[in-house]
């Protein structure tokens, strides 16, 4: 679906007409520049490659600089492709937050916060085994048995165990757009979105 690139500003809350307090996330969306137009004749599919957030040429590769000059724009830090635009856009066109409307639903994807090495209770929601008494002293948050004995005589792949958590691409679907602030390129969506503050996010209709 069509969409834009943005940056997560942070969370806040607003009141609706009934006085209910609604938690929401503020996202700076665009303006995004069309850096490449994919066509069925050349690429086999239709899509728009959009760029967001300027980067100095000193910190960019020659390939990125040449790619941006073709579109007549500066080098961009974040580039992503989107399909399903109803309008026709040309190389170098700018798409703003006005692409979204209040009341519609969007999907927001980003890289989640890295949590480091975590145990099974935090990472997979285990309840913890054993009791807090009857002589045991360190088994409350342990995973328990991870497999059988003589058969299958191994641990199955995908066994939920302790390990690194977070740092993965996460998409949150069907978030309602509460407010569109066009003069500041801001989009306010209901609920939370993945990623840390100032993380790049993609917003799809």
Token pair listed for 110: 């980003």
> CA-CA distance, 200 to 111, in Å (whole number)?
8
Helix (H), strand (E), coil (C) string for 130-182 = CCCCCCCCCCCCCCCCCCCCCCCCCCCCCCCCCEEECCCEEEEEEEEEEEEEH
Give yes or no for a contact between 5 and 200, defined as CB atoms under 8 angstroms apart: yes
Residues of the chain with CATH 2.40.30.10: 3-116+168-204
Question: Which pLDDT belongs to residue 170?
Answer: 97
Question: Which pLDDT belongs to residue 135?
Answer: 81
Question: Which pLDDT belongs to residue 171?
Answer: 97
> CA-CA distance, 176 to 189, in Å (whole number)?
6
Query: What are the pLDDT digits (tens) for 36-46?
Result: 999 999 999 99
Question: Which pLDDT belongs to residue 144?
Answer: 87
Burial of 166 (0-12, 13-18, 19+ CB in 10 A): middle
Q: Which residues of 125-149 are buried (b: 16+ CB within 10 A; e: fewer)?
A: ebeeeeeeeeeeeeeeeebeeeeee
CATH class name, domain 3-116+168-204: mainly beta
Query: How many residues can be counted in the chain?
Result: 205
Q: Which residues of 171-198 are buried (b: 16+ CB within 10 A; e: fewer)?
A: ebeebebbebeeeebbbbbbeebbbeee
Alpha helices in the chain (DSSP H): 62-70, 120-124
Give the residue ranges of the chain where pLDDT is below 50.
none
Q: Residue 121 in 3-state DSSP?
A: helix
Query: What are the pLDDT digits (tens) for 70-83?
Result: 999 999 999 999 99
Q: Please report, in angstroms and rounded to a whole number, the separation of the first and last CA atoms in the chain.
A: 6
Which element (helix H / strand E) includes 200? strand 200-204
Residue 82 CB coordination number (10 Å)? 20
Give yes or no for a contact between 160 and 120, defined as CB atoms under 8 angstroms apart: yes
């Amino acid at each position: 679906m069509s969409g834009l690139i943005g940056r997560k500003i942070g969370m806040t809350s607003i009141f609706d007409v009934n006085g209910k307090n609604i938690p929401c996330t503020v996202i700076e969306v665009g303006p995004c520049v069309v850096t490449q137009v994919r066509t069925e004749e050349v690429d086999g599919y239709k899509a728009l490659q959009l760029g967001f957030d300027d980067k100095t040429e000193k910190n960019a590769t020659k390939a990125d600089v040449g790619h941006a000059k073709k579109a007549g724009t500066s080098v961009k830090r974040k580039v992503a492709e989107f399909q399903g635009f109803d309008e026709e856009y040309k190389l170098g066109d700018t798409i703003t937050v006005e692409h979204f409307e209040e009341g519609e639903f969007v999907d927001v994807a980003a890289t989640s916060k890295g949590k480091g090495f975590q145990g099974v209770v935090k990472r997979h929601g285990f309840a913890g085994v054993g009791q807090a008494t009857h002589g045991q002293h360190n088994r409350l948050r342990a995973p328990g048995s991870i497999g059988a004995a003589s058969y299958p005589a191994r641990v199955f792949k995908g066994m939920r165990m302790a390990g690194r958590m977070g740092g993965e691409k996460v998409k949150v679907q069907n978030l309602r757009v509460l407010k569109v602030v066009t003069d500041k390129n801001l989009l306010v969506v209901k609920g939370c979105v993945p990623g840390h503050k100032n993380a790049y996010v993609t917003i799809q209709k």
